[in-house]
Structure 1
């Protein structure tokens, strides 16, 4: 038999919300939180998955290798993450067990998050120790350490990170930490001609500012631009590697190239389109997405069927709205958060997505914010 586990970090937030708001008994809530954390740890562990299940149900001396689960058959190699683990554990200790995964990752990244600065966490010696990692990568490492029982999360809707006894040998240099790195399939660059145009623009800017090209944008960011074809500043800001500073300094230059490419002869031949059918070869990629949306399919279903990232499908929906296609934004906005998002948009401006996101609960994603912006017709052009 084959078992496939579908997991997304957003699932955890939803389950925590349901537990908190649908179970009146505090004792039962704590039990449900523990069960949820078992599942999260199961998704992040590098150990034998069969062994983890057997241990959960009380079997002692379960096998460390079954030669059958996805972890045991994973072709990726174990990498030494001891140094990263020591930095994370040290930072968690200095934060005195008072904050969650997001804040811990922000400190290690060296984030300028408003709440982080208000708490004075930028004064910790561990501030910025993992600045060369993305926030998601740091959060993943933290969750790996939780799964491997070096850290734990408290129960409750807003869990905080605490050290476990197993962290001590790692901090003292007496034990090393390894994690299996999954092998990523090489993916061909979408819209190669556009990629070369963006690289040329990047080189011109780098030469003018006398900095290495990757300081402007790394290749990975340019590849994602080619894949998603962002049409405005809010869409560009969702690209990994584009922050507020880079958006302000370089955003309009890159958007001009992107818009020119989309509006030119390559408009309907984006390699984001799935080959094989006559209809897809003749129809713009975002229109294909729109047609599937009108059929009642969700963003995740469209992404899976088209073998695209969910964020690409989200950008297609945004683009369709701007081109006049009817989008029912209530399909994508949680009613309990709509007014909260709207208030922050009015407060800081529709083109300041990062600032808006920082002031909202963690479970509200960027697409929800952009959906509210589109629904109420805010102008996202830079001032």
Structure 2
């Protein structure tokens, strides 16, 4: 199948950027903000681009790179991210390369030769490589037309992921003074944005500040009471879907991975303590859909450009909203419905605060403390989570989103004076010397050796709350802590202690309302909502995914480099039977039509024929 046979009628008025968008990348229309940035960069103007993860940042510099004469240099922080971008560009027929430590000296020299000869349009390098003496000396010899700095928030000391080598990138201007620069990131508040502009010395830049909203992601928080059971139950509702489970420690990553595997859930661990080759193998297996679930620390980060991640679970609360936003942004990059679930225990937040307290005083500690407090406020919010999240980035919304746990299942309240009196009385009766779980065991009248040894089965509060579950009482005690009736003593092993404020409750001098404990939020799968409303042939979709995996394995590529899930779903929806119809599917450009079109069209025709014969 030749590309000429795949030609379809195009409007004569298409601009150069629109023509490249369709012919090379296979998309029919730009997303909001993309075209203005592309036109500015193509004209040689500096740009600062703030777009959400999965919002199409890469096209903002890739299309100008193809419009402008010469070479575009892309600063990228991770080898895996560079390789992924280069694989996808090459699959679309674009001459692209990367220079990193995995390449031999001969291969690097050959890449430099191609760069100087104008045979490559985009080359990806790390900030360390770009600032090396050898590389800087070569810069004036290269036909450079644009510098793109990806993950630009790393430039700022006020960002959540500050990297000193990024902060030095402004020095590149000294070697190529007139080179246009584009800085791109998904997460940057006002202070960070100003720092990026200053450190890169951007001159009268076109600034695009897109919405931070990812409307396809559902944000859900569950109270953390039996986290391993909660996680296994949730993963059971997402079988066959790709997802990431984030934890705050390497030890926990390994423990959870082991438990999941014992439960018959195929998962792999990823953290910075593993050997490089082992980490690379896990990431590659995940990219290629050989494994569906990765349990990871934040080390599993910016290199993940996999579009079909359907869920991200935070087993522990992150340290700041920027990290949470970036990590949840690994889900749903293809624009299809996805879920972000966090298991929250206030004691996890207290542990992070203790860790922060051990750091030396100074501006950095102050910044981290502010960010941690904002993360805690998000977790404990009783209003639309998306509004809280967007508000943090300075984007204000009047209306609640309708796609978070608070909107879908608003907190219900009840007259809680009696249960509060029972809980507070029990804390008092055990002499304010025990933690949450022991107090709950006494309330519920549990028969265990420790209670008998302490004589707590003889207390007047023993068993007065047996009509409620363990999880119910844990939630009540946490709310009493939040409301200031109890404190957890950090210096005494998190024992519960009454405050002066509790006296009025115990004497029934005031009324009290608490939230009905949300014990098992049945996180409705994203599949049951928007995907169910799409009228596509699910059997054909499964066949197309199988064909894609076979082709990808044969070509040694991640499946989404062939086509992403959104493209396959559109094929199963519109059922193309000709080259022209297949080219109208988003994500199908001329190069991919030429390479893969015949196989996919044949499969669709066979499926339709078999379907006809069954009626």
Q: TM-score range by the shorter chain?
A: 0.3 to 0.5
Greater Rg by CA: 2
> Between Structure 1 and Structure 2, which shows a larger proportion of helix residues?
1
Instruction: Between the two structures, name the one with larger relative contact order (CA 8 Å, sep ≥ 6).
Output: 2
TM-score using structure 1 length: 0.36
Greater strand percent: which structure?
A: 2
